Amino acid sequence: MSQEAHRTRPPTEEESSPTPTAPPRVKRSWQEAEAALLAGPPGPASAQRGWREVDTDLGELAPERALAERAWRKAEAALLARSPALARVTTPEEEKAREGRRPPPRSRQGAGVGSTVFLLLTGLYQLRRLMPLADVAPWDFSALFAKGYGTLALLVLFPTLMALWGIIRGDPTRQEKGSMWLLFQSVCWAVVGLVVLFQGEFVAALLMPWHLTLVSAILMTPTTGPREEAPVPPSAPLQPPTVRPAAPEDRAAVASLQSTAVARRPSLFALEPGAEWDERHPVLVAEEDGRVIGCASTSAYSLRECYAGVADFHVFVAKEARGRNVDTLLLESLMKAAEARGIHKLTTCVLAGNTHALERFEKLGFTRVGVHAKHAELNGTRHDVVVVEKVLSASVR
């Protein structure tokens, strides 16, 4: 395999420097070693011989790189010799079928404090129903064992103790086992209640704690279900959008982005018509899949000649593209483009309550230089604004 087949980026200065060309014997040994390695047993033996030949030729051509290449190839050969199946490339269809066979991830959530208290009270109530002796309390274990109720008490309290231990240890498995014991007790109590009901004791049947045990079993069962994951849109791009200078055909898209912002806050985002298309100031757009999702531009800070090197800047991002650092990409490119056009400082005003924007500007090197009190009118109310600025050229004094 040639080096050019793997190159997906422009060569660096080091890579573009003249180096000896590999003779045909190196390429032939390389290809034979690779073919033998991927063929599986008895491939590894011949593969190692091929790698040794390649290492020898590499050492003759470039001794400074021979050690790294030799170590890498030996490690690869040793790994694939242990498991030849690793050399096999998985097709997208096989990967999709493998994903379909995997069980969906599960999420678990244990019982809360209220469920724990309810469970304890239910266990004590069950003991009282089983041992209606005036001189024995459910929590007096010594008296229970002395009266012969010790085994019965353990059977009643066992699911409660197991579930509580699961809560303490954060172990959903113990909680599930305790819940199954409680469910079994609920069935037993229901049978006893039916027997008592057929004997004509309606009130006693209602007082049987089967319903309390059933509720405890339900409360103590950790909830299970598919894990809720943030949906990823199928068309979500893997690469950041492309930032480029705006073209005349982008006017409609830029106007649409600006009009959307103006519709939200007319007095804050409205600009003079055509202000963003001044030839003295750069206009950039962020493009993704042929669609403009953001724009950034500068405008004159003042009409006075002494402020010719200072500019305001504006950034607009489409609603569906927010939260993906598109504004940061635009602003970083805008600072470079503005400096290239002789602008030495960028400045803007931010509402004092917009802490997110202020933090974002500070990360990009902007500093807060002051506050204009009651400066911006928004929805009939005057708001304070924070002035941020950044000097682009280090040579400015």
Give tens-digit pLDDT for 94-143: 666 665 555 554 444 444 555 555 556 666 666 566 655 445 555 565 66
* Whole-number Å distance between alpha carbons of 144 and 152: 9
Q: Residue 333's pLDDT is what?
A: 93
Q: Is 132 inside any structural domain?
A: yes
Residues of the domain holding 42: 20-87
Of the candidates 185, 163, 184, 159, which has an alpha carbon nearest to the alpha carbon of residue 173? 163
- Confidence category of residue 13, pLDDT binned at 50, 70, 90: very low
Q: Residue 309's pLDDT is what?
A: 87
Is residue 371 within 8 A of residue 358, CB to CB? The reply is: no
Is residue 253 within 8 A of residue 284, CB to CB? The reply is: no
Q: Is 92 inside any structural domain?
A: no
Domain end marker among 195, 224, 253: 224
**371 and 269 in one domain?**
yes
**212 and 132 in one domain?**
yes
* Whole-number Å distance between alpha carbons of 187 and 22: 81
**185 and 113 in one domain?**
yes
* Whole-number Å distance between alpha carbons of 377 and 360: 23
- pLDDT tens-digit map of 351-367: 888 888 888 899 999 99
| Most confidently modeled range among 179-188, 220-229, 231-240, 363-372 | 363-372
Q: In what order do the strands lie in the sheet with 381-391?
A: 242-245, 283-288, 291-300, 310-317, 345-351, 381-391, 367-378
Is residue 221 within 8 A of residue 179, CB to CB? The reply is: yes
Q: Which of the pair, 173 or 44, is modelled with greater confidence? A: 173
pLDDT > 90: percent of the chain: 10
Q: Is 14 inside any structural domain?
A: no
φ, ψ of residue 387 to 5 degrees: the values are: -90, 125
**384 and 282 in one domain?**
yes
Q: Is 45 inside any structural domain?
A: yes
Q: Is 12 inside any structural domain?
A: no
**325 and 215 in one domain?**
no
Q: Is the pLDDT of residue 298 over 80?
A: yes
Is residue 283 within 8 A of residue 338, CB to CB? The reply is: no
Q: Is the pLDDT of residue 83 over 60?
A: no
Q: Is 196 inside any structural domain?
A: yes
- pTM here is 0.41
* 3-state helix, strand and coil shares in percent for the chain, rounded to the nearest 5: 55, 15, 30
**259 and 186 in one domain?**
no
DSSP secondary structure, 45-91, as one string = HHHHHHHHHHHHHHHHH-HHHHHHHHHHHHHHHHHHHH-GGGGSPPP
Domain CATH code at residue 305 = 3.40.630.30
The CB density around residue 151, as the number of other CB atoms within 10 Å, is 10
Please state the domain count of the chain: 3
Q: What are the residues facing 286 on neighbouring strands?
A: 243, 294
φ, ψ of residue 20 to 5 degrees: the values are: -60, 140
**214 and 254 in one domain?**
no
Q: Is the pLDDT of residue 53 over 70?
A: no
* Whole-number Å distance between alpha carbons of 375 and 378: 10
